[in-house]
Amino acid sequence: MDILYSREELATQRNTWKENNMSIGFVPTMGALHQGHISLVELSLKECDKTIVSIFVNPTQFNDPNDFLKYPSTLDHDLELLMNAGCDAVFVPTVDIMYPQGTTENKIHIELGYLGTCMEGLKRPGHFDGVVQVVHLLLEMVKPDVLYLGAKDIQQVRVITKLVETMRLPLKIITGATVREYDGLAMSSRNMRLDKQQRKVASELYRVLNEISQQYGLTDPSVLTKSYIELLNQTPGIRVDYIEIVDFQTFMPLKMWNKKGENLVCVAAWVGDIRLIDNVLF
Ligand code: AMP
């Protein structure tokens, strides 16, 4: 597996692959890798000739400086996981390599409409601007044929899809299913920061999402949302940021149920000072 640090090394690698008519699958990450990330790498390995992963903790997408400072970093372990998975190359840039003219350069504006101002867009001001900025830069450098994203960050998937459509980038987006721990907790790099007690209560998030999905067609979405926010807030150690039942495409809150398979329930909650998100499509 090649470890690429500079833009030049990355360009040489991808150009060599392209000259040999190879398809390139790309998995952007912020490191502290787990099986959720590796599942995307495995999808790419199956479908593309070459697979490249980026590891870059992008400062511009953190609205909370504390979250950025405490974001876990496990580079040696990450490289070992990627090597064992059979990944072809990993791009590990520094902030200076990504933003040589400073982090305020290379900002692009994508009209996100409601998608940009609901849920994560509302609760984390500037977050999606940073995501769009870094993903656009990475896509310009890697120029992949296929981009692999995780359903765990479903709103991010929609935002990046909008970026790709707006900029008319010639690539396909594949969304991989959320990989979960034995008790249903969605795998996340931030889970590493949970202590034993927090780790135990964190599985309530998925349990609640599942319970809500099982009430499909029985109780009105807005009534369900309200009662489950109250219920989850009663769990010691958990503070709900939002629970929303929305249309799977527009992300508008549902007043009435959609057809089966087109309802999405999303949660964001604080477990101590760690903010976790999850969602279930039903
Ligand atoms: P991150 O390192 O958190 O920025 O995530 C990098 C990519 O991995 C994103 O496309 C995430 O949606 C995806 N991802 C993170 N956690 C999971 C998971 N538990 N299952 C599937 N994909 C995931």
Is 37 tagged catalytic? Answer: yes
The residue whose CA has the least distance to atom 7 of ligand 1 is 29
Q: Are 146 and 172 in contact (CB under 8 A)?
A: yes
State what percent of residues in the chain have pLDDT above 70: 100
Instruction: Please say if the pLDDT value at position 146 is more than 90.
Output: yes
- Give the ligand 1 atom nearest the CA of 189: 3
Q: From ligand 1's centre to the CA of 279, what distance in Å? A: 13
The residue whose CA has the least distance to atom 14 of ligand 1 is 150
199 burial via Cβ count (<10 Å: 0-12, 13-18, 19+) = middle
CA 249 to chain centre: 17
Q: From ligand 1's centre to the CA of 141, what distance in Å? A: 21
Active-site residue (options: 37, 77, 127, 136):
37
State what percent of residues in the chain have pLDDT above 90: 99
Residues with CB under 6 A from ligand 1: 29-30, 36-37, 39-40, 149-150, 152-153, 176, 178-179, 186-189
Look up the pTM and report it.
Answer: 0.98
CB hemisphere CA count around 14 (13 angstroms):
23
Q: From ligand 1's centre to the CA of 40, what distance in Å? A: 8
- Give the ligand 1 atom nearest the CA of 177: 21
Q: Could you report the per-residue pLDDT of 173-228, keeping only the tens digit for each?
A: 999 999 999 999 999 999 999 999 999 999 999 999 999 999 999 999 999 999 99
- Distance separating alpha carbons of residues 249 and 263, to the nearest angstrom: 9
Q: From ligand 1's centre to the CA of 153, what distance in Å? A: 7
- Give the ligand 1 atom nearest the CA of 31: 2
Tokens in use for 100? 């040589």
- If one counts every other C-beta atom within 10 angstroms of the C-beta of residue 239, the result is 12
